[in-house]
């Protein structure tokens, strides 16, 4: 039987927001977040202990969110000069913001993927396995995942630099542990950013400003 999965965010509230906003989010528990059309039949939540599952709107595959992630969302209403009808350009603009900030904290090469979506056929539906427009790579490893949801009121781009390895998802997906076992990506720790988290977040909220900045209570 399929799980009934609650939405990750209050998307109706976003649509009613008329000011360009950067939202610095966090979670107090481990959250398995599914893409908008991802199936739940094979999902074993019990294998992840107390983890919850939510579904986001927009593209992308499964991702594990948890304590210590650098999770930053951008909402740009259609009346804002930073809004663009170009889906690709919108994602790349957000990636460039991340790249500029990470480049000031890291010596390793920082790259923004500017091409089309490239899935990893060995790990279908796994967010941190593929390459999407605007996603950021440091030293060749994916560091920042990007998803986008667009409606007539604006564009919503959600990004995360994880604190924990996405391989921790393996027990929840029966028969797919191989898709996660060798998944290599950057984390807050591997980039040496543990002591710079607040600085990175502060810098991200200023790039291409001004933005209204929100820091809602952690999701639970």
* 1 lies in some domain: no
Residue 219 has pLDDT above 50, yes or no: yes
Complete edge-to-edge strand list for the sheet that includes strand 63-65: 6-7, 52-55, 31-34, 63-65
CATH classification of the domain holding 10: 3.30.930.10
Q: Which domain holds residue 163?
A: 6-214
Question: Do the beta carbons of residue 185 and residue 168 sit within 8 Å?
Answer: no
pLDDT, tens digit, 9 for 90 and up, residues 156-210: 999 999 999 988 887 776 655 566 767 889 999 999 999 999 999 999 999 999 9
CB 106: neighbour CB atoms within 10 A? 17
The total of structural domains in the chain comes to 1
The rounded percent of the chain whose pLDDT value lies above 70 is 90
* 219 lies in some domain: no
* 176 lies in some domain: yes
* 158 lies in some domain: yes
């Amino acid at each position: 039987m399929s799980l009934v999965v609650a939405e990750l965010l209050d998307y109706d509230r976003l649509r009613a927001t008329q000011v360009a906003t950067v939202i610095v989010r966090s979670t107090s528990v481990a959250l398995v977040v599914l893409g908008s059309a991802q199936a739940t039949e094979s999902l074993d939540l019990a294998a992840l202990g107390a983890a919850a599952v939510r579904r986001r709107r927009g593209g992308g595959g499964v991702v594990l969110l948890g304590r210590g992630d650098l999770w930053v969302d951008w909402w740009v209403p259609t009346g804002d000069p930073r809004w663009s009808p170009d889906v690709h350009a919108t994602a790349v603009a957000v990636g460039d913001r991340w790249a500029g900030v990470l480049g000031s904290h890291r010596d390793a090469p920082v790259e923004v993927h500017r091409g089309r979506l490239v899935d990893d056929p060995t790990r279908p539906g796994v967010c941190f396995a593929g390459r999407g427009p605007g996603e950021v790579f440091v030293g060749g490893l994916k560091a920042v995942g990007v998803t986008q949801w667009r409606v007539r009121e604006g564009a919503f781009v959600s990004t995360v630099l994880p604190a924990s390895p996405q391989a921790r998802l393996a027990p929840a997906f029966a028969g797919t542990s191989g898709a996660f076992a060798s998944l290599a990506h950057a984390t807050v720790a591997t980039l040496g950013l543990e002591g710079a988290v607040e600085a990175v977040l502060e810098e991200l909220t200023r790039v291409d400003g001004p933005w209204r900045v929100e820091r809602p209570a952690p999701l639970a």
